[in-house]
Amino acid sequence: MSELLTPGTQAPDFELPVTPDRKLKLSDLRGKPVILAFYPADWSPVCGDQMALYNEILPEFQRHDAQLIGISVDGAWCHMAYAEDHKLEFPLLADFEPKGAVSRSYGAYFAPAGFSQRALFVIDKDGVIRWSYCAPLGENPGAEGILQALEELP
């Protein structure tokens, strides 16, 4: 497993599917803060709680003009069903093929299990990582660290 990218590092650009026919590119979000929330899988208990929490406090992230993005190795169809079922109001990106490539570039891929760790990144408007954290596998990292990092952005 590679090292989690640390604050001060330029965030690697990527383009991933949001739906089977629409992609999102990180660099298209320049000019506003971005929260990347890597997580193991849709439909798993801890991930469900984590994504539900972020959806609930989305207005707090938006108060900082920040865009929240969830990323896992699930496919776009799975993400669409999951987001609809959980009424998520932020995009879930499919790091599906090549499996975990973006997760690997951020040091968040857990190769022994074949999925992303529960890793969080706050990226500033210029594309620089300002905060990163990786929670233990079965632990919901909550939102306190994200909110504090957003408060500290210049």
- Which sequence positions are flagged as catalytic? 47
Q: How far is CA 42 from the centre of its chain?
A: 13
Q: Are 142 and 134 in contact (CB under 8 A)?
A: no
Q: Which amino acid is at 119?
A: A
d(CA 76, CA 59): 25
76-82 CB contacts, 8 Å cutoff, 24+ apart: 76/17, 76/18, 76/19, 76/20, 77/20, 78/42, 78/43, 79/18, 79/42, 80/19, 80/20, 81/42, 82/42, 82/43
Q: Are 87 and 55 in contact (CB under 8 A)?
A: yes
At 70, list the tokens. 């969830």
